[in-house]
Amino acid sequence: MASLQNSPAIHRTLFPNSFSQLGLQKHGQFRCCRRGVSLLVRAEQVSTTNREDGPGRRQVLAVGAIGSWVSLVNQTSISFAAETKKGFLAVMDKKDGYSFLYPFGWQEVVIDGQDKVFKDVIEPLESVSVNMIPTVKQDIRELGSPQEVAEALIKKVLAPPSQKTKLVEAVEHDVDGKAYYTFEFTVQAANFTRHALSAITIGNGKFYTVTTGANERRWEKMKDKLHTVIDSFQIFNV
């Protein structure tokens, strides 16, 4: 497979020598533009009745609940629509323009340099993270083929230089007229190997990357769930 480093136009655009043009860092991490706000909304969280209260209090509670419900619907309509697959919860970031599903039971954690992260507290290698950097490009295909872009991202951004990486597969697909690259890869450290999936696309003046994965020993058990996470990732205009 051709290396992205051999494509001058791509190298200048996405991987300048200092990694500063688009805010990339060398050691497997994006510099986050800002942390977005996501709301995880489930039906049982909204209640408009309370049988124990008098009429006045019920009216106040009802008005407050309805106001909250309207606000939540306005901000998370995609989240409601997306949370349809059993065993998954939905995230919709209206400010940054993306949505995705993650397995029920994963917890949100804050990690410096990443916009949003959810992970399994028992199996720490099982996680999903979303990152964004500014770009002047309009389409992911402007950067090169799926294989070229995937290999460069894996080696330069998604894994530390000390770890051995392998690209398994990289493909292009289309969602509502928007091009996405998705790829599968492994990262081998001294005491573990992580089997991972990523999806990348460009929109809203940003280069989006979502990555999920698991320990190699749990890949066969987790791969269907991880594919659901990656396949669910979509961006929308903001």
pLDDT tens-digit profile of 50-63? Answer: 434 444 444 434 44
* pLDDT per residue as tens digits for the range 60-80: 344 444 444 434 434 444 444
Ordered strands of the 88-93 beta sheet? 88-93, 98-103, 234-235
Residue type, 128: V
Instruction: Calculate the alpha carbon distances from 171 to 48, 147, 151, 225 in Å.
Output: 47, 8, 12, 19
Closest CA to 26 of 133, 128, 153: 153
8 A C-beta contact, residue 14 and residue 23:
no
The token pair that represents 70 in the structure block:
């309207």
Q: Residue 33 pLDDT > 50, yes or no? A: no
Q: Residue 153 pLDDT > 50, yes or no? A: yes
The secondary structure of residue 181, as a DSSP letter, is: E
Q: What is the pLDDT of residue 84?
A: 63
CB atoms within 10 A of CB 147: 19
Average pLDDT, the chain: 77
Q: What is the pLDDT of residue 85?
A: 87
Which residue matches tokens 């720490």? 124
The token pair that represents 149 in the structure block:
């872009």
Q: Residue 233 pLDDT > 50, yes or no? A: yes
* pLDDT per residue as tens digits for the range 199-224: 999 999 999 999 999 999 999 999 99
Report the CATH architecture of 4-34+83-235: 3-Layer(aba) Sandwich (3.40)
Instruction: Calculate the alpha carbon distances from 27 to 135, 193, 196, 221 in Å.
Output: 20, 18, 17, 29
The secondary structure of residue 121, as a DSSP letter, is: S
What phi and psi, each to the nearest 5 degrees, are found at residue 15?
A: -130, 65
Q: What is the pLDDT of residue 113?
A: 87
Q: Residue 37 pLDDT > 90, yes or no? A: no
* pLDDT per residue as tens digits for the range 98-151: 999 999 999 999 999 899 999 999 999 999 999 999 999 999 999 999 999 999
Q: What is the pLDDT of residue 137?
A: 97
The secondary structure of residue 122, as a DSSP letter, is: S
CB atoms within 10 A of CB 125: 19
**Percent of the chain at pLDDT above 70?**
65
The token pair that represents 75 in the structure block:
């901000």
C-alpha span between 135 and 19 (Å, rounded): 13
Q: Residue 166 pLDDT > 70, yes or no? A: yes
C-alpha span between 224 and 233 (Å, rounded): 15
Closest CA to 206 of 147, 120, 106, 138: 138
Query: pTM score, two decimals?
Result: 0.69
Helix (H, G, I), strand (E, B) or coil at 214: strand
Q: What is the pLDDT of residue 50?
A: 40
